[in-house]
């Protein structure tokens, strides 16, 4: 009888431990290491869940999980190393807002620092009819984003596009043959 009881207990214990480990990793890594992002008509969705126009940090975390490296600074940054994503949460009167002011997706690392992710974005991003990838060039970007307004950017090889209350900065390599990152945020000008 003891032997029969121990034969029954081992699989039950193994199943319990496997389930506990699986649930622990799901909360720390989010739903997918390769998110599907769609941008258009003033909205952003990740894996089918709309996170913008709300810009709630909680909404982003429900889809992405907890960040690998939160960091205090001028903004609080939430870096997702394996996903190649960084969220920026601003302070107002020295209090965190619980809102995301910008989200960055890294296809390469322009200049590594304490905020940049250790990995690159391996998911998909669609901006209207434009499929965003590391091989994107400025000419293709402009041809696919005809309804978007281009305005001056703050540095070379970086292009600012705006539409329906959103801006997107496209940062390219020096030769403009590859995309390094995109940054998406609320456009104050509401083009």
Examine residue 58 and state whether it is found in any structural domain, yes or no.
Answer: yes
Q: How far is CA 168 from the centre of its chain?
A: 13
For each of the chain's 191 residues, which pLDDT tens digit applies? 444 444 444 443 333 333 333 333 333 345 577 899 999 999 999 999 999 999 999 999 999 999 999 999 999 999 999 999 999 999 999 999 999 999 999 999 878 999 999 999 999 999 999 999 999 999 999 999 999 999 988 899 999 999 999 999 999 999 999 999 999 999 987 54
* Claim to verify: residue 77 and residue 158 sit in the same structural domain: yes
Examine residue 64 and state whether it is found in any structural domain, yes or no.
Answer: yes
Contacts with 82 (C-beta within 8 Å, 6 or more apart), sequence order: 29, 33, 68, 117, 118, 119
Contacts with 125 (C-beta within 8 Å, 6 or more apart), sequence order: 37, 38, 39, 105, 131, 132, 133, 182
Examine residue 191 and state whether it is found in any structural domain, yes or no.
Answer: no
DSSP-based helix, strand, coil % in the chain, nearest 5: 25, 35, 40
Number of domains in the chain: 2
Instruction: Give pTM, 2 decimals.
Output: 0.82
**Which pLDDT value is given to residue 23?**
33
Contacts with 169 (C-beta within 8 Å, 6 or more apart), sequence order: 153, 158, 159, 160, 182, 183
**Which pLDDT value is given to residue 13?**
35
Examine residue 125 and state whether it is found in any structural domain, yes or no.
Answer: yes
Examine residue 144 and state whether it is found in any structural domain, yes or no.
Answer: yes
* Claim to verify: residue 66 and residue 21 sit in the same structural domain: no
* Cα dihedral 37, 42, 56, 108 sign: positive
* Claim to verify: residue 129 and residue 89 sit in the same structural domain: yes
* Claim to verify: residue 2 and residue 71 sit in the same structural domain: no
* Claim to verify: residue 128 and residue 70 sit in the same structural domain: yes
* Claim to verify: residue 106 and residue 176 sit in the same structural domain: yes
Examine residue 56 and state whether it is found in any structural domain, yes or no.
Answer: yes
Domain with 48, as residue range(s), is: 36-186
């Amino acid at each position: 009888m003891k032997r029969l009881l121990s034969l029954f207990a081992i699989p039950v214990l193994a199943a319990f431990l496997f389930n506990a480990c699986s649930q622990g990793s799901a909360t720390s890594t989010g739903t997918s290491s390769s998110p599907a992002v769609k941008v258009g008509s003033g909205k952003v969705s990740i894996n089918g869940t709309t996170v913008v126009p709300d810009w709630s940090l909680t909404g982003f975390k429900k889809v992405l999980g907890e960040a690998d490296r939160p960091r205090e600074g001028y903004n609080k940054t939430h870096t997702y190393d394996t996903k190649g994503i960084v969220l920026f949460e601003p302070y107002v009167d020295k209090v965190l807002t619980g809102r995301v002011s910008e989200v960055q997706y890294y296809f390469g690392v322009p200049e590594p620092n304490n905020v940049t992710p250790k990995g690159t974005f391996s998911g998909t991003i669609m901006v209207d009819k434009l499929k965003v990838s590391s091989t994107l060039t400025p000419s293709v970007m402009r041809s696919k984003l005809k309804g978007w307004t281009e305005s001056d950017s703050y540095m070379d090889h970086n292009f600012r596009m705006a539409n329906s209350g959103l801006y997107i900065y496209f940062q390219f390599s020096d030769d403009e043959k590859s995309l390094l990152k995109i940054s998406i945020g609320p456009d104050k000008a509401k083009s």
